């Protein structure tokens, strides 16, 4: 097996053997604490520009299949594991994880003490890393490349180029416009199974186009609600998108936003965001719903967070907080039928405890249908 080396921006070196593609890869290294769900993680567009360290020691034991993809291709730049199972054993298995990495040229390394690596990233923070199979390299040249790398332009990379319509699973109850900043497939499915026809729009679609509605025959039918999806990168980089999000907010249309969408709406309404030391990534993060007074275990994948102190109480109030570190996990806006969460209620992978939020969204659309368009929706 070919030797591979991971070099971090702080000078730490981890050696192992190569899995997947063998080209050099520089990316932001983050860790995920999930025990399963590696295929959903690799195909989550929110990981664009990042390499994923799996803290659980065994990966690939149930293989991969075509059903568990969260997008049409993997977006993670690299995968770091302690041990890669050479064979997948599961009735749904169609291929091994190793072959999947190779087919998609995802660079990887196994044989690394991933728990030690995770502890390093926790204590010193997320940092850039370089995985390479090269036996000889110039250390200073590598360090300069690591210092220069930044995750940027990722929303433009992952968003679809044309609108795409998904029919409801059953009777048509609502028409939803879903803004694709890096949307996961299960987010679409959670809407479809609640009777929503989902039109997924490219990230830079103007708000005016959304608010015109869907053309049905010779007329335009208004959308019942808008959902802002998850996605990669620094939310503050999306200046033009934030302007359009503001217009959607001011229109009064029911709004539900997740992850990056949650951050974009916060920025659009005057709040601020900042980068976390190491972020939240995994399927075991406890979040407290302040209104319900109970805790839910959630799936998360974010490296930025809304500053709670920057939220104008006249605009919104914090609705959910992370039990581990007290960071903002959700906002309930004073404007009717508008709420957002930082975590992933659609899961995939992870617990489905908070999928009830999609029911809350459909309820908000039902309420808005009974309110005159000129009123406070």
Among 126, 151, 176, the domain-final residue is 151
Domain count, the chain: 2
In sequence order, the 6+-apart residues with CB closer than 8 A to the CB of 131 are 4, 5, 6, 24, 25, 51, 78, 80, 107, 108, 109
Tens of pLDDT, residue by residue over 304-353, are 999 999 999 999 999 999 999 999 999 999 999 999 999 999 999 999 99
In a domain, 316, yes or no: yes
Say yes or no: 340 and 292 in one domain. yes
pLDDT of 369 over the 90 cut: no
What pLDDT sits at residue 371? 56
In a domain, 377, yes or no: no
CATH number at residue 228: 3.40.50.880
* Secondary structure (3-state) at 241: helix
How far from the centroid of its chain's Cα atoms is residue 201's Cα? 17
Tell me the average pLDDT across 79-99. Answer: 97
Among 151, 181, 201, the domain-final residue is 151
Lowest mean pLDDT among 109-123, 130-144, 281-295, 347-361: 130-144
Whether the CA torsion 134, 135, 136, 137 is positive or negative: it is: positive
Tell me the average pLDDT across 275-279. Answer: 97
Q: What length is written for the chain? A: 377
Say yes or no: 216 and 86 in one domain. no
Say yes or no: 147 and 178 in one domain. no
Q: Which domain holds residue 35?
A: 3-151
Give the active site residues: 259, 344, 346
pLDDT of 67 over the 70 cut: yes
- Taking a C-beta distance cutoff of 8 angstroms, is the pair 7, 130 a contact? yes
At residue 258 the predicted structure's pLDDT band, cuts being 50, 70 and 90, is very high
Among 128, 151, 174, the domain-final residue is 151
Say yes or no: 101 and 20 in one domain. yes
Tell me the average pLDDT across 115-119. Answer: 97
CATH number at residue 42: 3.50.30.20
The dihedral region occupied by 20, where left means phi > 0, alpha psi between -120 and 50, and beta the remainder, is left
Lowest mean pLDDT among 135-144, 147-156, 328-337, 349-358: 135-144
Tens of pLDDT, residue by residue over 190-232, are 999 999 999 999 999 999 999 999 988 889 999 999 999 999 9
Nearest-angstrom CA–CA distance, 158 and 141 = 30
């Amino acid at each position: 097996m070919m030797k591979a080396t991971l070099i971090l921006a702080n000078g730490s070196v981890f050696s192992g053997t190569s899995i997947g593609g063998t080209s050099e890869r520089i990316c932001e290294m983050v860790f995920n604490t999930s025990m399963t769900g590696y295929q959903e993680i690799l195909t989550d567009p929110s990981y664009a520009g990042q390499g994923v360290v799996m803290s659980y020691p065994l990966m690939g034991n149930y293989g991969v299949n075509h059903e568990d993809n969260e997008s049409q291709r993997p977006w993670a730049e690299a995968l770091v594991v302690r041990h890669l199972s050479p064979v997948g054993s599961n009735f749904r298995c169609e291929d091994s994880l190793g072959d999947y990495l190779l087919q998609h040229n995802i660079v990887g390394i196994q044989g690394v003490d991933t728990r030690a690596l995770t502890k390093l990233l926790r204590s010193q923070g997320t940092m850039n890393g370089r995985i390479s199979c090269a036996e000889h390299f110039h250390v200073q040249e590598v360090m300069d490349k690591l210092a220069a790398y930044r995750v940027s332009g990722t929303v433009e990379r992952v968003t679809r180029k044309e609108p795409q319509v998904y029919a409801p699973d059953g009777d048509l109850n609502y028409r939803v416009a879903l803004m694709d900043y890096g949307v996961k497939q299960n987010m679409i499915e959670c809407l479809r199974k609640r009777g929503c026809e989902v039109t997924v729009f490219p990230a830079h679609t103007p708000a005016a186009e959304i608010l015109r509605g869907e053309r049905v025959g010779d007329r335009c039918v208004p959308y019942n609600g808008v959902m802002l999806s998850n996605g990669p990168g620094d939310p503050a980089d999306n200046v033009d998108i934030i302007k359009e999000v503001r217009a959607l907010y001011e229109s009064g249309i029911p709004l539900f936003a997740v992850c990056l969408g949650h951050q974009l709406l916060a920025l659009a309404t005057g709040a601020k965001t900042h980068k976390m030391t190491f972020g939240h990534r995994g399927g075991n993060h406890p979040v407290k719903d302040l209104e319900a007074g109970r805790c839910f275990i959630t799936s998360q994948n974010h490296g930025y967070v809304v500053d709670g102190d920057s939220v104008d109480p006249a605009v919104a109030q914090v609705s959910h907080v992370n039990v581990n570190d007290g960071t903002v996990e959700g906002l309930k806006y004073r404007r009717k039928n508008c709420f957002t969460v930082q975590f992933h209620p659609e899961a995939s992978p992870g617990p489905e405890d908070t999928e009830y939020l999609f029911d809350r969204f459909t309820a908000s659309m039902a309420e808005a249908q009974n309110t005159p368009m000129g009123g406070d929706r």
